[in-house]
Amino acid sequence: MSLGADRSYKMKLRDVENAFKYRRIPYPKRSVELIALLAISCTFFLFMHTNKLNSRLKEMEVKLQPSEFSALGLTSNHVSGHDAGKHDDINTLHGTYQYLKSTGQLVDLVPVRLNNTPKAEREFVFFNRIEKTGSQSMTRLINQLGLLNGYETFRNVIQPKRAMTENFEEQREFVHQLTELSEPSVYVEHANWVNFTVHDMPRPIYINLVRHPIEKVISAYYYLRHPKIVGQSVRRNPNKIVQDKTYYDMKFNDCVKQRISPHCVFDAHNRFNGDWRRFALKLCGNAQICEQLNSEATMQMAKMHVEREYSVVGTWEETNITLAVLEAYIPRFFAGATKVYYSQTKKFTVNTTPHDNSLDEEVERYLKDSFKFELELYQFIMQRLYMQYIAINKNQFMDTPI
């Protein structure tokens, strides 16, 4: 039957005109209970595992001690991208290369060890995009590559409001709907990571994008206050409250200092922090611990999913590296990505809202503390991306002293 207007997921094709068909697959009551029990057990096991890991990490004395979650034992205690850039900084491509070389890990670094794409059980990419990371630009690139590489791109209709996480039944319905989509194809939505396997559905190819957490928060602040974006939001949700001019003109630094808007308060106890300004939630999933802000447990769960589930988590902050890794690790969908991107760069640069990124010292300290674990997750993802890139260019790196 057709997907009705009252459905929680209103997925449509690129042009958002023709809703695709799906069917419900009934499950015996006993099977549902067993599956739910299995999901709860798995979540509890992972939570205990991450807690144990956290205790072990705190006992380590060496700054760059390997982490169990890293594909090759790479981790970092740096928390600010503003501190990166030194030649010996582990949070740079050069620093990652030097670390792998000095520890002897470079010899064994091969793409197959960092490639989750072969784990996929269907030609289907699940891009659960994260807001304010350039996901709209990536979606446009994916659309264009679909014409070149022969696959379809599906998107959902943007909803005015949705819950932070979804329960087991909601996830099951979502997964079954996605299974009805044709192959090869890509599905794009602002959604949390979801485990297809626990719902007895074929595993997809997971991808995503991230951005430096502090810059992401600043960007989100000004994005929400841009006249064009405010207008679009009101059209989608006529009941939305429109603030006065003072609200939209206030600088980010002033807003954080005065704490007068929920968009500028990032304390862990503040429920509003469950909104879309952070990316740990999307990578962690729908478990209860994923709702926590600045949580080590949430971060560790997200790290595990990035390493074990995602084929590529890239960033437009490293455009060339991200495109090269996508081409190498998911060639069926991203062959020719670099050439297509640079031939039509303006077409893939959308939703930019120019703003001042400078931060007052006290504001920067507050943000670093509020996003401590988000920043650590970001650096973990960047290091994994660098390792994937080095693995496919190892000979070139070794032949060219840097």
d(CA 27, CA 81): 48
94 is catalytic: no
Residues pairing with 312 in the sheet: 207
**Which of 306, 297, 319 has its CA nearest to residue 45?**
297
φ, ψ of residue 383 in degrees (nearest 5) = -65, -40
Active-site residue, from 49, 78, 94, 190: 190
Order of strands, edge to edge, in the sheet holding 185-188? 11-13, 152-156, 185-188, 124-127, 205-209, 310-314
Helix or strand (DSSP H, E) at 311: strand 310-314
C-alpha distances out from residue 397 to 72, 94, 332, 381, 394, Å: 18, 10, 26, 21, 5
d(CA 7, CA 192): 18
φ, ψ of residue 12 in degrees (nearest 5) = -135, 175
What's the token pair of residue 4? 């009705």
DSSP β-ladder status, 185-188 and 205-209 = unpaired
Residues with catalytic annotation?
A: 190
